[in-house]
Structure 1
Amino acid sequence: MGSTTILLEWIDAATREMTLFAAAGFLIGGIDDLLVDVVWLAQRAWRRGAGTATLDALPAPATPRRFAIFVPAWDESAVIGAMLRTTLARLDHPAFRLFVGCYPNDRATIDAVADVAAGDARVVLVIGARAGPTTKADCLNNLWNALARAGEPADAIVLHDAEDVVHPAELRLFEALLDAHAAVQIPVLPLPRRESPLVAGHYSGEFAEAHGKELVVRTALKAGLPFAGVGCAIRVEALAAIEAGHGAPFDAQSVTEDYELGLRLAAAGHAAHFARMRERPGGEVIAVREYFPATINAAVRQKARWMTGIALAGWDRLGWGRALDLGDHWMRLRDRRATLAVIVLAAGYAALVGWGLSVAGHALFGGTTPGPVALLQAILAANLALLLWRALWRTAFTARSYGWREACWAPPRMVVGNFIALLAARRAAVRYMGLLAGRAPQWDKTAHAFPEVMP
């Protein structure tokens, strides 16, 4: 037996094993996603029978609320001025103030905020004692402490980032729902970027589905609802309860403080509500809109932070919820499957390469490429059906939020998203090992942009 024949046999055997591993993993993940679809469809059918609520149809709140909007800002001089002026002009509510957290070694951002604050008393500049960057949670804690020191009357805290385009009616929506819920999260919809239809564009499909279906299902199951970090309002007394139990409302050692805060609130009995609602019939969804990273490097950095904080460090820090809360266990497991999903995805791509090498090798040196056994053929057929189903749902949800022109990009964007996830997994593993070794977490942010013309 020649060395070429032995090599081809090794390639065939390795390819067969990788294919089986990847196929089984894809099947489990596909069935998991399918169950979410079923729950969403059932919830949708129930809501259709109950009628679709709009903000204008909601009863007036029992108590008018005063809002403190927290905007943490590190190296945001390029966008913070435009964001603050736009927010002040757009928000349709009589009682709010913007608290903007800056660092003493970020003079450009301080000057940009101070310029806006000089012309509008609703903007409060807060400069922390420590040089930046620390963590976003640390900056938010500075804002919380500044609110207490100032004696500002506030009933709820709203979280936003320096690049957010706020919806004019969001505070009225929060006010209408905070009587019944300790916290409210509204959708986040990435703004399309013509210069980056695939990299920046892949966020559009992911968020359209996650904030059009996933969070709706979590709310229906009464599972802990992770915050998106922006577009969420939390009653002050709920944050105070978290502070009393943990020393601060936001955990400065976390790299995904928004995700953890939502689950901590739920565990303390202050469950959040996800509100996907229009202001009036036929109006646009009340949501936060913003630009997401347009380059592969920036997208990898952002997704590595999410993967580190949610699927790796978040698992260590939060563990599991109440023993019999099966819906919450299911959702936390879905949050944490990202690391295994990346391994399965890598095996799948490696198997494709293996099949290509096998076909080429046997064509050149003789022999027949071994085909998959009957069981594997059945699994591959089921996976193909689930993949087409998944692509159909991603396309439909993208069309729902952005129209059919953007929806046509949905399938290729899924492929781009897979490759970004593969690259992010390596960076996340390195960051996680650094955290395990005692390295202090740090704000790993990306450069932001703000639209010149409002959407």
Structure 2
Amino acid sequence: MNLGHWTILEWLAVVEQELLLFAGMFFLIGALDELAVDGLWAWLRLTGRNRSLNLVREDVRTRRLNGHAAVFIPAWKEESVIEHTITHALRAWSHTEYVIYVGCYRNDMATLEAAMRGAGNDRRVRIVVHDCDGPSTKADCLNRLYAAMEMDEQRSGQDVRMVLLHDAEDMVDPAEMGLMDKAIERFEFVQIPVLPLPQKESRWIGSHYCEEFAEAHGKTMVVRDAMGACLPAAGVGCALDRGMLRDMAHLQDANAPFSVESLTEDYELGMRIEAAGGRSRFLRVRGDDGELVATRAFFPSRIDSCVRQKSRWVHGIALQGWDRLGWEGGLTERWMRLRDRRGPMAAVVLACGYAFFILAGLFFVLGELGVERPWQTDPLLSMLIVANLASFVWRALVRFAFTAREYGPVEGLRAILRIPVTNVIAIMAGRRAIVAYARTLRGGEVLWEKTHHELHPAATLREVPTT
């Protein structure tokens, strides 16, 4: 066949067929991967091994801690939210045996002043001003807070028992401190769920995090925990044993626990703790009010901010994680790391899938006009299409179920309708991460792009009860 004599339609038909084969096969592989996790979660559910624990919120909130705790909150350009975060935490946690360390920068007076307003005269808040101009990285700010905590330990002669990590926009759970204090008796690392809150002003962009975390922290992390795989830290709503954090610091060249070279130092820390022999646990616990003990927050509401944040996650977890953490562990661990690092490939497959749909729509319109498609599907391709359609329906039902469990059926239906938005953001973030990573391979600097927060949940929502 003389390819030079092919028409444009024939070329487009070949592209359409190749896109169908490529995207269809990888969609099917991804669907089988998710189906395996679904099956494991269902088995754990049926055997009673993943039932959420229950507690009486007031008992946990008012119990005396078994030792002192430190809470690290790094803050750069967070003047819009940091005051609310501090005041809510002080009201939510009635304990006296903790100190909130807020990391600010000397060239960010707005955040510093907002933090001081939130702290008031409460001795449970210690504002630490970094001795360099910001922005540095989040890991660098956390290391500065770690150094301040060490200095306080030396002055008082009393060591901290556990360290909690939170972001400047978090709305902490009143039961979290007491729950973490109890759990840290048996584990060196504990993570509770993160619950992004629906946003009335950003139903289609800012709220799409709801279904992602509902499924990740309602199913995937539960399966990882049950299978004994490494548990990545979310960077918020997690507690670290003080001794283990000291060990992590000793393993670093700068004698600091957080890796400044990593864009996702929290994820990496959780993996390193497990590799060092630390015991980890993911805790899904509900209070007597039926509410999940979790960290709540508003996530970015603009698409450019979402793309920046997710490209940092993809770059740090998928690409840097491959370089820095490798593929250690058994079959289960390698499987979970592969799932963590599928972001760039998923972006490529999704882009090919949408390109196929555009071409398929074009040929459908042409077919209605009497122009016949240059190729016809064979039985194998038809089976591939049917299998992918069935898997899509299943995935939509699973997404609805997990979202509706935490947010109600209306938000569950929105989660299905938001699937195209989620996919487009994933494509854009994957492309951006790949470009950024390629830049570092050519000797470029690893760039830290901080997520900007404009609104705090405590300013607009009914807060989680503190009594």
Query: Is TM more than 0.5 here?
Result: yes
Q: How does 1:53-452 map to 2 (within 5 A)?
A: 53-56=53-56, 64-151=66-153, 153-246=159-252, 247-280=255-288, 282-322=289-329, 325-361=330-366, 366-448=371-453, 449-451=455-457, 452=459
Q: Cα distance, 1:358 vs. partner?
A: 3.0
Say whether the 8 Å CA contact 1:170–1:286 is kept in structure 2: yes
Partner residue of 1:9? 10
Say whether the 8 Å CA contact 2:211–2:415 is kept in structure 1: yes
My pick for the range that moved more, 445-454 or 264-273, is: 445-454
Q: Does 1:36 align with 2:52?
A: no
Say whether the 8 Å CA contact 2:235–2:266 is kept in structure 1: yes
Q: Alpha-carbon deviations, 1:2-55, whole Å to 9, x = none? A: 99962111111111011011000000000000000011111112226x975323
Q: Cα distance, 1:63 vs. partner?
A: 7.5
Partner residue of 1:47? 48
Question: What secondary structure, in the 3-state scheme, does the structure 2 residue paired with 1:192 have?
Answer: coil
Distance in 2 (alpha carbons) for counterparts of 1:399 and 1:52: 16
Q: Cα distance, 1:94 vs. partner?
A: 3.2
Question: Letter of the aligned partner of 1:55 in structure 2?
Answer: L
Question: Letter of the aligned partner of 2:89 in structure 1?
Answer: T
Number of aligned residues: 451
Change in 2 beyond 3 A, CA 1:168/1:366? closer
Say whether the 8 Å CA contact 1:190–1:289 is kept in structure 2: yes
Q: Cα distance, 1:184 vs. partner?
A: 0.6
Task: In structure 2, list runs of 5 or more residues that go unmatched.
Answer: none
Q: Cα distance, 1:338 vs. partner?
A: 1.2
Question: What secondary structure, in the 3-state scheme, does the structure 2 residue paired with 1:370 have?
Answer: coil
Say whether the 8 Å CA contact 2:86–2:119 is kept in structure 1: no
Say whether the 8 Å CA contact 2:63–2:178 is kept in structure 1: no
Question: Letter of the aligned partner of 1:87 in structure 2?
Answer: A
Say whether the 8 Å CA contact 2:13–2:373 is kept in structure 1: no
Question: Letter of the aligned partner of 2:54 in structure 1?
Answer: T
Question: What secondary structure, in the 3-state scheme, does the structure 2 residue paired with 1:294 have?
Answer: coil
Question: What secondary structure, in the 3-state scheme, does the structure 1 residue paired with 2:170 have?
Answer: coil
Distance in 2 (alpha carbons) for counterparts of 1:434 and 1:18: 28
My pick for the range that moved more, 240-249 or 284-293, is: 240-249
Change in 2 beyond 3 A, CA 1:79/1:62? closer
Question: Letter of the aligned partner of 2:422 in structure 1?
Answer: G
Task: In structure 1, list runs of 5 or more residues that go unmatched.
Answer: none
Say whether the 8 Å CA contact 1:11–1:358 is kept in structure 2: no
Q: Alpha-carbon deviations, 1:160-182, whole Å to 9, x = none? A: 01110011000111011111111
Distance in 2 (alpha carbons) for counterparts of 1:368 and 1:454: 57
Question: What secondary structure, in the 3-state scheme, does the structure 1 residue paired with 2:386 have?
Answer: helix
Question: Letter of the aligned partner of 1:285 in structure 2?
Answer: L
Q: Cα distance, 1:258 vs. partner?
A: 0.8
Change in 2 beyond 3 A, CA 1:404/1:359? closer
My pick for the range that moved more, 243-252 or 288-297, is: 243-252
Question: Letter of the aligned partner of 2:313 in structure 1?
Answer: W
Question: Letter of the aligned partner of 1:167 in structure 2?
Answer: D
Q: TM-score, normalised by structure 1?
A: 0.94
Say whether the 8 Å CA contact 2:347–2:431 is kept in structure 1: no
Q: Alpha-carbon deviations, 1:99-158, whole Å to 9, x = none? A: 001111111111222333441111101111221111100000000001001226310000
Distance in 2 (alpha carbons) for counterparts of 1:250 and 1:197: 35
Q: Cα distance, 1:62 vs. partner?
A: 12
State the identity %. Answer: 44
Distance in 2 (alpha carbons) for counterparts of 1:51 and 1:157: 27
Distance in 2 (alpha carbons) for counterparts of 1:368 and 1:431: 40
Distance in 2 (alpha carbons) for counterparts of 1:207 and 1:77: 26
Distance in 1 (alpha carbons) for counterparts of 2:51 and 2:169: 34
Distance in 2 (alpha carbons) for counterparts of 1:403 and 1:360: 39
Change in 2 beyond 3 A, CA 1:286/1:52? closer
Question: Letter of the aligned partner of 1:54 in structure 2?
Answer: N
Question: Letter of the aligned partner of 1:198 in structure 2?
Answer: W
Say whether the 8 Å CA contact 2:165–2:237 is kept in structure 1: yes
Distance in 1 (alpha carbons) for counterparts of 2:133 and 2:162: 28
Root-mean-square deviation (CA), in Å? 2.3
Change in 2 beyond 3 A, CA 1:249/1:127? same
Change in 2 beyond 3 A, CA 1:168/1:358? same
Q: TM-score, normalised by structure 2?
A: 0.92
My pick for the range that moved more, 68-77 or 38-47, is: 38-47
Distance in 2 (alpha carbons) for counterparts of 1:335 and 1:396: 22
Question: What secondary structure, in the 3-state scheme, does the structure 2 residue paired with 1:289 have?
Answer: strand
Say whether the 8 Å CA contact 1:279–1:286 is kept in structure 2: yes
Distance in 2 (alpha carbons) for counterparts of 1:266 and 1:296: 34
Q: Cα distance, 1:442 vs. partner?
A: 4.1
Say whether the 8 Å CA contact 2:24–2:384 is kept in structure 1: yes
Distance in 2 (alpha carbons) for counterparts of 1:77 and 1:390: 39
